């Protein structure tokens, strides 16, 4: 009996389920699923791979463990070329005693040298703080520093000595006054500004450039007379020329 009730109940459930399915198929409208069309992705050209340059490694500087010492040369101070005359002496317009004296230098004093003659026996020095330059050639002069390395300096040359220096004379032996007249003559020197005449080392006369004769009236006649003549120019005098006049006999 129980089995029959169970069977009936199962049949009822099955019919109910069938009815529900039938209702659903009738009322519901099946909507077809949308169709999706895939748009193809644009073609992207493949990138061309460029090989990267090989990496260059910077060299590692070598560090020396020992520091380099750079020697800085100390400038050498050159000594000043100087001369020290041993005695007071004339300082002249040129390298020789026939040049006129400009001033004098003091023995034992150092003077800066700016020039020399080619024999290194006369030196062009600065005096009065460099305001004046003149030539020194005193014997016994001491050299200080590179005197022999200073340049050779040139001075305006003096003139050549007069030529043909001759004489004539006449003696006056009568009466109380005894004397003689001496006539001197010489060849003119081109460029001379004048002449200087000496008798027995004493200045006798200064003559003009146009003069070429001189008469020494009433010259002493008790001894030989030595006449000396120099031509002059702007820097000095020439080497002298000499004549000797013998004493008159009486």
- Report the distance separating Cα 91 and Cα 204, nearest Å: 25
In this structure, are 184 and 124 located in the same domain? Answer: no
Boundary-marking domain end, from 124, 149, 174: 149
In this structure, are 175 and 240 located in the same domain? Answer: yes
Give the pLDDT mean for 10-34.
46
Reported confidence tier of residue 22, pLDDT bands at 50, 70, 90: very low
Phi and psi angles of residue 237, each rounded to the nearest 5 degrees, phi first? -125, 160
Q: Determine, yes or no, domain membership for 30.
A: no
103-140 residue pLDDT tens: 999 999 999 999 999 999 999 999 999 999 999 998 88
In this structure, are 171 and 232 located in the same domain? Answer: yes
Q: Determine, yes or no, domain membership for 175.
A: yes
Domains held by the chain: number: 2
Q: Determine, yes or no, domain membership for 66.
A: no
28-68 residue pLDDT tens: 444 454 454 445 555 545 555 555 555 545 555 555 566 66
The alpha carbon of 90 is separated from its chain's Cα centroid by a whole number of angstroms, namely 33
Q: Determine, yes or no, domain membership for 55.
A: no
Q: What pLDDT was estimated at residue 26? A: 42
Boundary-marking domain end, from 103, 123, 149: 149
Q: What pLDDT was estimated at residue 100? A: 94
Q: What pLDDT was estimated at residue 75? A: 67
CATH number for the domain harbouring residue 182: 2.60.40.10
- Report the distance separating Cα 4 and Cα 50, nearest Å: 88
CATH number for the domain harbouring residue 98: 2.30.30.40
Q: What pLDDT was estimated at residue 121? A: 94
Reported confidence tier of residue 78, pLDDT bands at 50, 70, 90: confident
Beta strands in the chain (DSSP E): 82-84, 89-92, 101-105, 111-116, 123-127, 132-136, 142-144, 166-172, 179-185, 194-199, 202-208, 213-219, 225-232, 241-245
In this structure, are 125 and 184 located in the same domain? Answer: no
The better pLDDT of the pair 53, 229 is held by: 229
Q: Which residues contact 247 (CB under 8 A, 6 or more apart)?
A: 221, 222, 223, 224, 225
The alpha carbon of 162 is separated from its chain's Cα centroid by a whole number of angstroms, namely 44
How many CB atoms within 10 Å of residue 112? 19
Q: Determine, yes or no, domain membership for 45.
A: no
- Report the distance separating Cα 199 and Cα 205, nearest Å: 9
> In terms of residue numbers, what domain contains 237?
166-245
In this structure, are 145 and 170 located in the same domain? Answer: no
Boundary-marking domain end, from 149, 182, 197: 149
Q: Which residues contact 93 (CB under 8 A, 6 or more apart)?
A: 99, 100, 101, 102, 134, 135, 155, 156, 235, 236
Q: Determine, yes or no, domain membership for 58.
A: no
Picking from 197, 187, 193, the residue whose alpha carbon sits closest to that of residue 235 is 193
């Amino acid at each position: 009996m129980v089995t029959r009730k169970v069977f009936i109940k199962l049949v009822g459930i099955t019919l109910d389920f069938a009815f529900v399915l039938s209702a659903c198929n009738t009322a519901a409208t099946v909507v077809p699923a949308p169709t999706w069309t895939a748009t193809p992705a644009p073609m992207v050209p493949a990138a061309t791979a460029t090989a990267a340059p090989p990496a260059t490694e910077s060299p590692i500087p070598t560090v020396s463990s020992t520091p380099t010492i750079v020697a800085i040369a100390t400038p050498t101070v050159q000594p000043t070329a100087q001369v020290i005359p041993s005695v007071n002496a004339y300082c002249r317009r040129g390298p020789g005693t026939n040049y006129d004296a400009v001033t004098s230098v003091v023995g034992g004093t150092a003077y800066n040298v700016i020039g020399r003659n080619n024999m290194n026996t006369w030196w062009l020095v600065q005096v009065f703080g460099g305001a004046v330059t003149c030539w020194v050639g005193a014997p016994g002069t001491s050299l200080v520093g590179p005197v022999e390395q200073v340049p050779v300096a040139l001075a305006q040359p003096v003139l050549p000595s007069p030529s043909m220096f001759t004489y004539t004379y006449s003696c006056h032996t009568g009466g109380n006054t005894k004397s003689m007249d001496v006539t001197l003559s010489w060849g003119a020197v081109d460029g001379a500004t004048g002449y200087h005449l000496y008798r027995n080392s004493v200045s006798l006369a200064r003559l003009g450039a146009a003069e070429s004769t001189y008469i020494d009236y009433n010259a002493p006649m008790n001894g030989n007379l030595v006449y000396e003549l120099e031509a002059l120019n702007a820097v000095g005098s020439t080497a002298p020329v000499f004549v000797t006049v013998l004493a008159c006999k009486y």
